[in-house]
Structure 1
Amino acid sequence: MKRYDLRHLKDGFEPRMKEILLAHKAAEVAIFIFEIGDFTPIQRSADLVKECGYELLNSLKFNEVDWTIVTKK
């Protein structure tokens, strides 16, 4: 299991998330935390996970501004 904090990238986290997913080991869980504003990044991140061939295991609000998703290939 590996955790990736993408909050510092604000709304531009998707290219880095895709880069990580493409390089991540198969069968290992990846946890991503990123900042949300109007909730549109949540659907975009779910679409990106599917596009990269991963399964979205969990998606939840971490606090008032952050979101966490758990993925596995």
Structure 2
Amino acid sequence: MQRYDLRHLGDDFYGRMLEIIDETAIGEVSIFMFEIGDFSPVQKSADVIKEAGWTLMNSLKFNEADWTIVVKKVKSEVA
């Protein structure tokens, strides 16, 4: 399990989050922290994870400005 702080990317963290998951092994769990602002990144991150075919295990408010999600990679890479 690895934790990744994506707060420095602002609202443009989705691509980096997908890159990180692409590089992890099947069954690996990753924790991502990002800024929430108007809360739209919370739903968008859940949608991005679902569209990629991975499992969103948890999503919670870390503090007043930040959110964390826990993602498990459950599908293999398609060649």
Q: Which of the five TM-score ranges fits, normalised by the shorter chain?
A: over 0.9
Equivalent in the alignment of 2:41: 41
Gaps of 5+ in 1: none
Identical positions, percent: 64
For 2:58 and 2:9, locate their aligned partners in 1 and report how far apart those are by CA, in whole Å.
21
The ranges of structure 1 where at least 4 consecutive aligned residues each deviate by more than 2 angstroms after the TM superposition are none
1:25: how far off? 1.1
> Please, what is the CA RMSD of the aligned residues?
0.8
1:21: how far off? 1.6
Higher helix content, 1 or 2: 1
- Number of residue pairs aligned between Structure 1 and Structure 2: 73
What SS class does the counterpart of residue 12 from structure 1 fall into? coil
What SS class does the counterpart of residue 56 from structure 1 fall into? strand
Q: Is the 8 A contact 1:21 1:52 kept in 2?
A: no
Equivalent in the alignment of 1:19: 19
